[in-house]
Amino acid sequence: MADIMKGYGSEHHLNGVHGSGNGCHSNGTTTFTNILSNGHSTSNSTNGIHKNGHSTYHNGNSTSSSNTDSHNQEPYDLICIGFGPASLAIAIALHDQKTQARVLFLERQPEFAWHAGMILPGSRMQISFIKDLATLRNPRSEFTFLNYLHEKNRLVTFTNLGTFLPLREEYNDYMAWCASHFEDYVRYGQDVVSVAPVGEKPIQNWTVTSRDIENGQEKRLTARHVVIAVGGKPNIPKAFPQNPLNSRIIHSSGYSSTVPKILNDKNKAYKIAVVGGGQSAAEIFNDMHTRYPNSKTSLIIKGSALRPSDDSPFVNEIFDPSRVDSVYSMPTEIRGESIVQDRATNYGVVRLELIEHLYETFYHQRLQNPSEAEWQHRIVPLREVARVEENKLGELHLQLKNTRTGEAETTAGFDAIIVATGYVRNVHEALLKPARGLLEGNSYQVNRDYRVQFKEGAVATNSGVWLQGCCESTHGLSDTLLSVLAVRGGGMVESIFGKEMSAANC
């Protein structure tokens, strides 16, 4: 493996590479330990290098002193805000493409986790494992899903399953396995609060300010390039409290971790509402039937019925990495119409197998009792939540509006309401508020390579801010999904660094 990123602490570089002479061991391979830089060396090493030629790092912090402001240090080449799948794909691409750079990842969570609140028993991925974090860019990468299976001694048995769709639990473990290779270069528990330009125009560097989740201490680091890949924040419809004090109103993102705490008797006859008509809502609704077998559940949807997602081969080509070029090049109005037309592939739709399973559940209920009003599990169609109220008994009532007739009705009380209404992807706007004066217009437009468009001459050509996962309006429906991450990660590395920092092959 290649020695792709050099560290601050190692002052003795030969041809820009750590280690013995040319950065290679005597057997012609390079060290894995120092592929990324976190900018600090440990106190028991010499110039950041062990006697065996490996660089030494420890969670982005020096073991001999406390953190200091970045103004006393050389700027990072790249800081990635967020260490979810998008940033992980970038880390893997940096490794595979043997790029030398000083890079750091800042993540709010205490450890790597991907949609932890929606890892439900038996839930499967909706994309092929071939669309992992590496294969479509480099099938020979050690970070492919197949190599993960090989390393875990499950390759043959997975093959016997005869599926391209792993369990979501397994895919999460795959990504955590990938992330474990880069742990020394991620600072977990860091809530980034701002990204600000440094100095006069043209801007050469950016200050990234983060707050330590545990102790509240603020830290400032400087970088030439910043990638913002923080994902979405829960979308709570206006009818619901925007900062609910009532812990029994739960967004789907926290379902599996929060619900067992507030509904802690699995045999109790809870009354539970799930709001939403997409895959997450349907999965939660279905999971409730097993998790709380005596509960009464209602799935409240705007449409007349659950709609199946269109994942047929020709339609599925809209998620091909090459399609991003054609989408970006479309005139704005046509692109918007195209995205709306293709929304049935991803938004407000459910995989057909789950729809069929739920229909069978309802059929069994009908077999036992023809009166739907008395069923244990019901879908309530053509309803939109207008208001949420709590009575003196602590029950939550929903005021619903019929989406066709406009008529209003009030539901019976619920013990909990799960809101599965997606995400808002505008966190970058708050983080980049100090840079608003550099924008060409009033919004954060990006180039094809995801670089934020600032005023001409405002930012140096070897510096910039890049957005990930919030560019659907310009780059298409695949922007927030896993499908393009492998190729996009490689493209990001090439756009940011080009060939200027590529390490020579050993």
Q: How far apart are CA 386 and CA 149, in angstroms?
A: 48
| 373 and 468 together in one domain | no
Q: Which of 148, 51, 42 is nearest to 92 (CA)?
A: 148
Considering the entire predicted model, what is its pTM? Answer: 0.86
Q: How far apart are CA 488 and CA 376, in angstroms?
A: 46
Q: How far apart are CA 333 and CA 315, in angstroms?
A: 21
Q: Which of 383, 400, 423 is the last residue of a domain?
A: 423
Alpha helices in 139-210, H assignment, sequence order: 145-151, 155-161, 168-180
Q: Is it the case that residue 245 has pLDDT exceeding 60?
A: no
| 272 and 408 together in one domain | yes
The pLDDT tens digits for 416-473 are 999 999 999 999 999 999 999 999 888 899 999 999 999 999 999 999 999 999 999 9
Q: Which of 407, 423, 439 is the last residue of a domain?
A: 423
**Is position 27 within any domain?**
no
pLDDT value of residue 391? 84
Q: Is it the case that residue 343 has pLDDT exceeding 80?
A: yes
Q: Which of 234, 121, 107 is nearest to 175 (CA)?
A: 107
Q: Domain count of the chain? A: 2
Q: What share of the chain is helix, strand, coil (3-state, %, to 5)?
A: 30, 20, 50
Q: Is it the case that residue 501 has pLDDT exceeding 60?
A: no
Q: How far apart are CA 266 and CA 293, in angstroms?
A: 7
**Domain span including residue 411:** 234-309+347-423
Q: What is the CA 491 to chain-centroid distance, rounded?
A: 18
Give residue 144's pLDDT band: very low, low, confident or very high (50, 70, 90): very high
Per DSSP, the three-state class of 237 is: coil
H-helix or E-strand containing 272?
Answer: strand 271-275
pLDDT value of residue 4? 40
The 10 Å Cβ neighbour count of residue 497 is: 20
Q: Which two tokens stand for residue 461?
A: 């050509």
H-helix or E-strand containing 497?
Answer: helix 485-497
| 386 and 262 together in one domain | yes
The pLDDT tens digits for 74-129 are 899 999 999 999 999 999 999 999 998 999 999 999 999 999 999 999 999 999 99
Q: How far apart are CA 493 and CA 272, in angstroms?
A: 46
Query: Is residue 477 within 8 Å of residue 343, measured between CB atoms?
Result: yes
| 463 and 430 together in one domain | yes
376: domain CATH number is 3.50.50.60
| 479 and 354 together in one domain | no
HSE at residue 250, side-chain half, CA atoms within 13 A, is 27
| 268 and 406 together in one domain | yes
Query: Is residue 219 within 8 Å of residue 67, measured between CB atoms?
Result: yes
Q: Which of 394, 423, 452 is the last residue of a domain?
A: 423
Query: What is the average pLDDT score of the chain?
Result: 86
| 251 and 354 together in one domain | yes
Site of tokens 């397994």: 170
Cis, bond preceding 202 (omega within 30 deg of 0):
yes
Q: How far apart are CA 376 and CA 365, in angstroms?
A: 8
**Is position 197 within any domain?**
yes
Query: Is residue 141 within 8 Å of residue 134, measured between CB atoms?
Result: yes
The pLDDT tens digits for 114-138 are 999 999 999 999 999 999 999 999 9
Burial 150-189 (b: 16+ CB within 10 A, else e): eeeeeeeebeeeeeeebbbebbbbbbebbbebbbbbbbbb
Q: How far apart are the first and last CA of the chain?
A: 9
The 10 Å Cβ neighbour count of residue 397 is: 17
pLDDT value of residue 504? 39
| 433 and 353 together in one domain | no
Query: Is residue 226 within 8 Å of residue 208, measured between CB atoms?
Result: yes
The pLDDT tens digits for 249-303 are 999 999 999 999 999 999 999 999 999 999 999 999 999 999 999 999 999 999 9
| 226 and 126 together in one domain | yes
**Is position 103 within any domain?**
yes
Q: How far apart are CA 135 and CA 174, in angstroms?
A: 13
% of residues, the chain, pLDDT over 70: 83
**Is position 319 within any domain?**
no
Angle formed by the axes of helices 279-291 and 255-262, nearest 10°: 40
Q: What is the CA 123 to chain-centroid distance, rounded?
A: 18
Judged by average pLDDT, the poorest of 282-291, 374-383, 387-396, 444-453 is: 387-396
**Is position 276 within any domain?**
yes
| 254 and 398 together in one domain | yes
Within 173-270, strands assigned E span 186-187, 190-198, 205-212, 218-228, 233-234, 249-251
Q: Which two tokens stand for residue 16?
A: 């820009």
pLDDT value of residue 498? 87
pLDDT value of residue 196? 98
Q: How far apart are CA 251 and CA 351, in angstroms?
A: 21
